Chain A
Amino acid sequence: MKKVMVGNHAVSWGARLARVEVISAYPITPQTQVVEALSEMCADGRLAARFIKVESEHSAMAACIGASAAGARAFTATSSQGLALMHEMLHWAANGRHPVVLANINRSLAPGWNIWTDQSDSLAQRDTGWIQLYCETNQEVLDTTIMAFKLAERLDLPVMLVLDAFYLSHTAEPVEIPDQDAVDAFLPPRQARYRLDVGDPRAFGGLVRPDAYMEMRWYLNEALRQAEVVYEEVEAEWARASGRRYGAVEAYRTDGAEVVLVTSGTMTSTARFVVDRLRERGEPVGVVKVKMFRPFPSETLRRVLHGVDRVAVLDRNLSPGRGGIFAEELRAALYAGDGFLRPAVFGYIVGLGGRDVTPRVLEEIVARTMREETPRREDLWVGVSP
């Protein structure tokens, strides 16, 4: 069945098809529609889930952790300040190995008060131990929501799926809704490996001394290190059911490319459009879309960028005093490997706080990247007129 829906409702539909059992959330623009639709589904019986109202995002995540610890499939959604408030609980979810799924609608952090898209909120949570998946279209949002549960439950890791405020959250697109039977076959009820059980009472999250804490961190890191491979397996299985796959990293028209735009989220669609136009003019330009940010797919990126002369990373985010976070991560990845040709990395800061990143902006970035021998600084700000 095909339905025209906004990205927020694609999240709601994905969670519903995944048969989440517990939802706990606190409303925030631009996320509100996600949980509004879910609460209606719970209220009218389309979704047999317990909807727990809470007084803050911190409590929302705490409730999800509790539900997940009890063996339930738990879900929440938030944005910006809400995600920031959850920070402590995000660590708890990952360290406790609770496969909670969270949809974060990218929004800038205040002040200045700004509700538009900006990846700084989710990227600030990069060290919490959550898998992070950035989506480009509403279809990808729905598919990724369903896949996120499977990925999370295979690894006992929490998964954050991320979409741009308004460009996806409030923009309607046709979305193919998979059959419930197909989703059920793909995603059976959760079988929790560790769960609260009053018949076998155990303490969770208790004191762990130095002789064991480090091992537990090692386990967590190992689980995340497997996540890219497991994601590809999950996606292959989903592709058999749906015919759609996205890849942790997707290379678009990179054959023979001298300049590659590295993108994430909705800017990717614009980049595809620009690349198509430049290729028509015979310019050797391609796109690499990074869907998975955590774990960072270093190996894959080294492979797809092998032999490329220059890379232009589009960062709709800022680590103040450092620059774009995708660029920073990519530079670190490229420096780590060996046996490949290392491209020059141009790190562009674009579209902060929801500023539009148009084809014209991307064409200028491509031209600038071709024109300049080396980047003049690590953070190249585009369109800033202070």
Chain B
Amino acid sequence: MPESSSRVSPVAVSRTSTLVTHTGTWKYIRPVYRDLVAPCMEACPVGIDIEGYLNLLREGRLEDACDLLARENPMPAVTGRVCHHPCEVACNRRAYDEAVAVHAIERHLGDALLEQMPVAGAPRRPGSVAVVGSGPAGLACAYHLVRLGYSVTVFEAAAEPGGMLRLGIPAYRLPRSVLDRQIRWILGHGVALECGVRVGTDLPWPALWDRFDAVFLGLGAQKGRDLGVPGESLEGVWRGLDFLRSVNSGKRPELGRRVVVVGGGNTAMDCARTALRLGAEVTVLYRRTRAEMPAIEDEVQDAEREGVQFLFLAAPLRLVSEDGRVRAIECQRMRLGDADSSGRRAPVPIEGDRFTLDADAVLSAVGELADLEALPDDIARLPAGIVAGAFGETSRAAIFAGGDATRQPRTVADALGAGKRAAIGIDRYLRMVHGEPDRFPAAESLRYGPGGNLSATRWRGDDPIPRTAPANQVVRYQDLDLSYFVRQPRRAEARRGGGEGLRDFAEVNLGFDRETMFEEARRCFNCGVCNRCDVCLVLCPDLAIARTYSGYRLLLEYCKGCGICAAECPRGAITMIREEL
């Protein structure tokens, strides 16, 4: 700036720097950078920092993203394939164009993690824990406990670990090689496994109580529910789970040509597509409509694509026999009535409207039950399962439970979340037993969002990502400024085959290649979390925002509290608060 010797400058310019004028002294509200919670994270029953790892991927940090994911989820290669991904239902991007394909990204990271087997560390904490059942709940509990430093032994009644993952889920959705490697990877962290040991018979409960300081019960729900109609014991009538277990352990049962599957959930889809692969013509019978089906939408679409027929608004009345074998299924036509307790419209019979469907085999997939008869009486249970608290605690001290054997949604993700909750509960319990001072935060502060699952990272207090004044509040669609985003279709995963004729059990969904995975990750809005997009910096009319190494700093002496930064932040990471007067 040339200093003029004249009294008056030709240009109306201040003689001194304007920095001396603290223009921000009149404001009554001011912005704060405050990291909130993305809705996907609250929706995730596992409790994964989804936004966090997607943002790391945006920065190209693949290894860090894998690490952040594995802190919460012990089996991303599995959930990336079979999870019902409620994260994508909650995704704010869904209302804008299409949800981010979180599951496909997770799967890619999960596979990347399996490329390197972990090195087990020695137990660092006193206390040994038994885990009964090697399904997702049990393995998750074991995994989180060894990461917390405990010695853990998993007991599995079957010859191989995995529980429902192995016996219930068909290989075309979850290849056994992936499952085996995922379990090896979990065990590689230092989890001991004993297969072929049925607790209660091979190893009595009292012996288990004596040998271990704490026990987790991840018993699962492996008893298929009956249809409850006459003719159930006929030859050719299967419980869907038994059928899947048979095929998944290598058998190829004779079903005949026409197979009817009863039910609309994921077990029904698994039964239908498995029967299709055995050469049958498959019809799914469901008493509500397609809209009410609890199965994952992708699974329904794949089943349709592969040639499964659907018959909606029909329920079985009785099974018709011929020479002791099922020949047909007599059905009742239904209509949708008022909403029931599940919020779905209840099916109501249409009087007198019946029909008969030929069937060489009938597979019932109308739900599963936990088999808790062998469990000691002092562990309280209800018809829906073992009674367990927020940290998986049961009515008996030192005994924890989770997964399908407790009352919770029967999904892999919910089982993994329950295993983690119990691991945190056991850690808390063992620390109390060992006389550590009570520093334990309430479950609420460990959740991602008020309704989310617990975070192992928050429990350990070792978050690798710097957080700015985090608040446990979920960012909704209306909190975003969409004008900064560009519409972009969700990437589709490569899929094998197409149309009818899939007759083998090779994996159908081939997932993302790395480039597509990175592209899809960049579609994430990063709801609620600053990703240094510079919108606030550029738009601040008072130049009251400065860059720092990890984000931004507010120059409050110049900030007038206009709120433009908060209004314009594309992802709701800036909140206006009242000035303290």
Task: Given A194-B13, A206-B14, decide whether A200 and B8 contact each other with a Cβ distance below 8 A.
Answer: no
Task: Given A197-B1, A198-B543, A200-B1, decide whether A215 and B7 contact each other with a Cβ distance below 8 A.
Answer: yes
Chain B CB within 8 A of A212 CB: yes
Chain B CB within 8 A of A216 CB: yes
B10 CB contact (under 8 Å) in A203, A204, A216: A216
Chain A CB within 8 A of B17 CB: yes
Find the A residue at minimum CB distance from B15.
Answer: A202
User: Given the complex, which residues of B lie within 8 Å of A193, measured CB to CB?
Assistant: 2
Chain A CB within 8 A of B397 CB: no
- Centre residue among B2, B12, B18 by max chain A CB count within 10 A: B12
Q: Is the interface on chain B under 10, 10 to 19, 20 to 34, or 35 or more residues?
A: 10 to 19
CA of A204 to CA of B12 in the docked complex: distance in angstroms? 6
* Number of residues from A at the complex interface, CB < 8 A: 22
Nearest CB of chain B from residue A212's CB, rounded to whole Å: 5
Q: How many A-B contacts are there with CB distance less than 8 Å?
A: 52
User: Given the complex, which residues of A lie within 8 Å of B13, measured CB to CB?
Assistant: 194, 202-204, 206
A203 CB contact (under 8 Å) in B7, B18, B543: B18
Do B10 and A202 touch (CB < 8 A)? Answer: no
Chain B CB within 8 A of A97 CB: yes
Chain B CB within 8 A of A357 CB: no
B18 CB contact (under 8 Å) in A95, A96, A202, A212: A202
The residues in B between 532 and 574 inclusive whose CB is less than 8 angstroms from any CB of A are 543
The residues in A between 185 and 228 inclusive whose CB is less than 8 angstroms from any CB of B are 193-194, 197-198, 200-206, 208, 212, 215-216, 219-220, 223
CA of A285 to CA of B21 in the docked complex: distance in angstroms? 65
CA of A252 to CA of B285 in the docked complex: distance in angstroms? 100
Do B10 and A96 touch (CB < 8 A)? Answer: no
Contact code string B1-45 (vs A, CB < 8 Å = 1, else 0): 110000111111110111101000000000000000000000000
User: Given the complex, which residues of B lie within 8 Å of A219, measured CB to CB?
Assistant: 8, 10
Do A201 and B18 touch (CB < 8 A)? Answer: yes
Nearest CB of chain A from residue B98's CB, rounded to whole Å: 30
User: Given the complex, which residues of B lie within 8 Å of A143, measured CB to CB?
Assistant: none
Nearest CB of chain B from residue A62's CB, rounded to whole Å: 14
Do A201 and B19 touch (CB < 8 A)? Answer: yes
User: Given the complex, which residues of B lie within 8 Å of A97, measured CB to CB?
Assistant: 10-11
Nearest CB of chain B from residue A100's CB, rounded to whole Å: 14
Nearest CB of chain B from residue A206's CB, rounded to whole Å: 6
- Centre residue among A202, A204, A216, A219 by max chain B CB count within 10 A: A202
Do A204 and B8 touch (CB < 8 A)? Answer: no
Do A223 and B18 touch (CB < 8 A)? Answer: no
Chain B CB within 8 A of A156 CB: yes
B1 CB contact (under 8 Å) in A96, A202, A206: A202
Find the A residue at minimum CB distance from B21.
Answer: A203
CA of A208 to CA of B11 in the docked complex: distance in angstroms? 10
Find the B residue at minimum CB distance from A197.
Answer: B1
Do A200 and B12 touch (CB < 8 A)? Answer: no
CA of A150 to CA of B410 in the docked complex: distance in angstroms? 78
Q: Chain B: residues with CB nearer than 8 A to chain A?
A: 1-2, 7-14, 16-19, 21, 543
Name 8 interchain pairs, CB-CB below 8 A, sorted by A. A96-B12, A97-B10, A197-B1, A202-B14, A203-B18, A206-B13, A208-B12, A220-B10
Across the A-B interface, give the 8 residue pairs with the lowest CB-CB distance, nearest first: A215-B8, A219-B10, A203-B14, A212-B8, A201-B18, A194-B11, A202-B14, A203-B18
Other contacts beyond A156-B10, A202-B18, A203-B13: 20, CB < 8 A: A97-B10, A97-B11, A193-B2, A194-B11, A194-B13, A202-B13, A202-B16, A202-B17, A203-B18, A204-B13, A204-B14, A206-B14, A212-B7, A212-B8, A215-B8, A216-B9, A216-B11, A216-B12, A219-B8, A220-B10
